[in-house]
Every structure is written in C-alpha cells, then in structure tokens.
Structure 1
Amino acid sequence: MGKQKVSPVPFFIVGILFLILFGAISWGVYFDSSWIRSFDLAWIDRIQGSISEGKTSFIIKVTELGSMKLVIAFTIIIAIVLFFKRRFAEGLWFGGTILFCAAIGGKILKKIFDRDRPAFLQLIEKTNESFPSGHATATTIFYGFIGLVLILTAVQIWKKVIVAFIALLWIGFILYTRIYLGVHFPTDVLAGFLYGTAVVFISIGVYLLVQQPLRHLLEKLNLVDKSKTFERAENY
C-alpha cells in the first residue's frame, strides 16, 4: 500500500450521510411503516419471481462467502499477515473495525430491532433476528473496506474504477442472494449495506486521525510499526 495524503473530513461526511439513511430505514422498520412493507413486498416479488433449482443450489453455496463467520475467519488471517509484516496499526485498525462494528455492532442492532424473518418462501431455514442482515453488514464492511483502501491507494483512475465496480457488484450480489433465499426482507439487506458503508468511511476517517498517536503508542511498547497505508493531510 503506497502513501498518499488524505483528509479525514470527507470520510466522516460520507459516513454520517449513510448513517442518516440507515436511521431512516431503521425508523420505518421499527414503527412498521406502510412504505417499508410496500418496498419489501415489491422487491421480494421481483427477486423471487425467477427461482430455479440450479440457480438456488449455486446461490446457497456462494452466499456463505458473505457470512459473518467466514468474514471473521478472513479477517483473522489478514490481521495475522499484517502483524507478521509488522504493520501493527493496520492490523489493529482492520481487525478492530470488523470485530466491533460488524460482529458486535451488528449483533446489538439485531437485538434492538428483533425483527422476524420473512414468512414467505424460505429456501433455507433461518430463525434468528432479521434486521439488519448479518451477511449484508459483514459483506459490506469486509469487502467494501478492502475495496475502498485499494481505490485510495491506486494511482491510475482506471484501476480505481475497476476495483469500485467489482466491489459493488460483489456486495450487491451477496445482498441479492439473501432476498432470493427468502431469509431477509429487502430493507434488511439495504440497512446492512447502509450501516456497513457508514462504518467503512467513518473507520477510515478515524484511522487518519489516530494513526500517528497509535504508532507512537506502539513504539513505547517496543513494537516497530511499518504501517504505511495513508498520510493524514495537514491542511483541511
């Protein structure tokens, strides 16, 4: 990852905007608004209107690439690799974001809303809380996090565009699979995407602010940190 000067302010602004959108969806779900029901029913009808055996078999396998358990396993592997390369700040940042915002934060939100799963055509059985979607949250934070870092560190515009396209396409597909399988309402996955996107942007903003103090702290612990993801912009 190459160095470049980046200001944290735009990341906080974008993150807050996505949090506001998440709040709007959450408000509608919590109070069971009519527009939420209409939105959900319309998209369930569209997405589950083309179910086939072969498609279902493929989707059941692929959708697990966005599961919280697998994302946590991938995160542990990446964090270990970063620690091995003595990029401790980056490892703590990445691992901490997934642990506290995806795993713990997502679980807290599920308990708060305690929304039942759709009572329609479920192609796989799920019985725990529905809102927000754990797959959507984990997928958006994990793959979105990696995608945005690659975009920020890429030099050529065409590379940024390709990475953004692939990341959004993959995240969108995982979200689609949860509705297709009948285990989530569309607003479940939309909320997971909005919350996850907010986390990604705010997390990068926070890291830009604390990366130097964090490195100084690591030095006091006799840990030579070689993280080099970003340089904070001094004038903003």
Structure 2
Amino acid sequence: MLDQLLQFDHQMFLGINQGLANPLFDAIMPLLRNKYFWSPLYLFLIIFLIKNYKKNGLICILFLLLTFAMADFFSASLIKPVAERLRPCNEPGFNNEIRLLVSCGRGFSFPSSHACNHFAIAMFLIVVFYKRWRPLLPAGLLWAFSISFAQVYVGVHFPVDVIAGGLLGCMIGYVTGTIFLTTYMQKTWSTGS
C-alpha cells in the first residue's frame, strides 16, 4: 500500500513538474515560493492590523507569529527528522528525471514547511476575519495553495509533502485562531470595531 502511494506521488510530481511545464509558470512559480516576494503583503497586514485594531492588532500579530512558529516547529523540527523523506531533487535515481528551477536544499521533504506555514497563516486569518470578510476564505486558501503548488512545480517537494503540510498548517491555524477569538473578544473581530 505504501509503495503504491509513493509511486502515485512520484507520478503526480512528474505530472506537475514536467507535464505542466511552460515558460509562464517557469517565471512565476519560483517567485511564489520566494520568502521575500510576499513581504509587501506581510507589511500591509501588519499596518492594517495596527491601524484598525490598535492594541488588539498587536496581539493579533503576536498570535500570527506564534502560529507561524508552531507550524514551522512541528513541520521542520518534529516531523521531518522522524520521516527523513528525501526531496525529489535529492532522491537517487529520481533526481535526474526532474526539472529543478531553484536550489534544492539539504533538508528533508515531508511535510513541506512552506505549505504548513502558509496554510497555518491563511487558516488563522480565515478563522479570525471570516464573519467580516467572507471572500478571505477562498483568497486565503488560494494564496496558500499557490505557494504549495509552486513547491512541487519547481522540483523541491512531492505532492504528498505539500498536502500533509497544508493539512497540518490548517489544523494549527484553526486552533490558534480559535484560541485568539475566544480569548480576545470575538465581537471585535466580527464587527471590525
């Protein structure tokens, strides 16, 4: 069963990494997974929260940082060293079949920390702001999905890595978002006052 799952994972990887290859994606996907590319969004979020929510906005930023730290810790420090799954670009006998568009990295692959971190942030924001801005649900999930998809496209993660990372991130974001709401006045975040 595990062998079949791994074989299916390899086939899905090749379908994305090679089957969807095109010049537009080759230009965009490395940017989507670059940590500096999203800096303007993070800066906007910080300014928005402080401007609109003052002290509570600062507390929300602290919870966002806690969410990110927990997601990164669970994925990179707890699970990856136990799973020890090689990245596609490091897997012997497979690495010569892939299109690698960025530096491979030396760390392990399962789960994807990029996917975990970004889905955690997205889910936290969805939980906190959904009642006020319902379009945040598809926008947040699409944002996290695009970053995760890019990880596969550029050749550094298998699809199962990003799926597992995304699910873990969603759980972490949901928990921290729920704790934030129950601790810090759900009415404030629902009404925006």
Q: TM-score, normalised by structure 2?
A: 0.74
* Per-residue deviation, residues 70-129 of structure 1 (Å, max 9, x unmatched): 67x938x72996499222433332222222x12322221222222211133122222211
* Alpha carbons of structure 1 residues 69 and 96: separation in structure 2 relative to 1, 3 Å: farther
Per the alignment, residue 145 of structure 1 pairs with 124
Shift of 1:147: 3.1
- Select the structure of larger CA radius of gyration: 1
Per the alignment, residue 39 of structure 1 pairs with 8
In structure 1, distance between residues paired with 2:174 and 2:85: 27
Task: Note if contact 1:113-1:131 (Cα within 8 Å) is conserved in structure 2.
Answer: yes
How many matched pairs?
A: 176
Q: Equivalent pairs: percent with the same residue?
A: 22
Greater RCO between the two (CA within 8 Å, min separation 6)?
1
Per the alignment, residue 123 of structure 1 pairs with 101
Per the alignment, residue 97 of structure 1 pairs with 67
For the pair 1:199 / 2:159, whether they are aligned, the reply is: no
Q: Specify which of 111, 130, 136 is matched with residue 132 of structure 1.
A: 111
For the pair 1:57 / 2:17, whether they are aligned, the reply is: no
In structure 2, distance between residues paired with 1:143 and 1:82: 18
* Alpha carbons of structure 1 residues 55 and 111: separation in structure 2 relative to 1, 3 Å: same
Task: Note if contact 2:87-2:109 (Cα within 8 Å) is conserved in structure 1.
Answer: yes
For the pair 1:114 / 2:84, whether they are aligned, the reply is: yes
Matched position secondary structure for 1:228 = helix
Q: TM-score, normalised by structure 1?
A: 0.62
In structure 1, distance between residues paired with 2:127 and 2:8: 29
Q: Give the unaligned 5+ runs of structure 1.
A: 1-27, 155-159, 213-226, 232-236
* Alpha carbons of structure 1 residues 103 and 80: separation in structure 2 relative to 1, 3 Å: farther
Runs of 4+ off more than 3 Å:
67-71, 79-84, 208-212
Q: Give the unaligned 5+ runs of structure 2.
A: none
In structure 2, distance between residues paired with 1:106 and 1:114: 12
Task: Note if contact 1:117-1:130 (Cα within 8 Å) is conserved in structure 2.
Answer: yes
Taking the TM superposition and a 5 Å limit, the aligned residue runs for 1:162-201 are 162-201=135-174
CA RMSD of aligned residues (A): 3.2
In structure 1, distance between residues paired with 2:27 and 2:48: 33
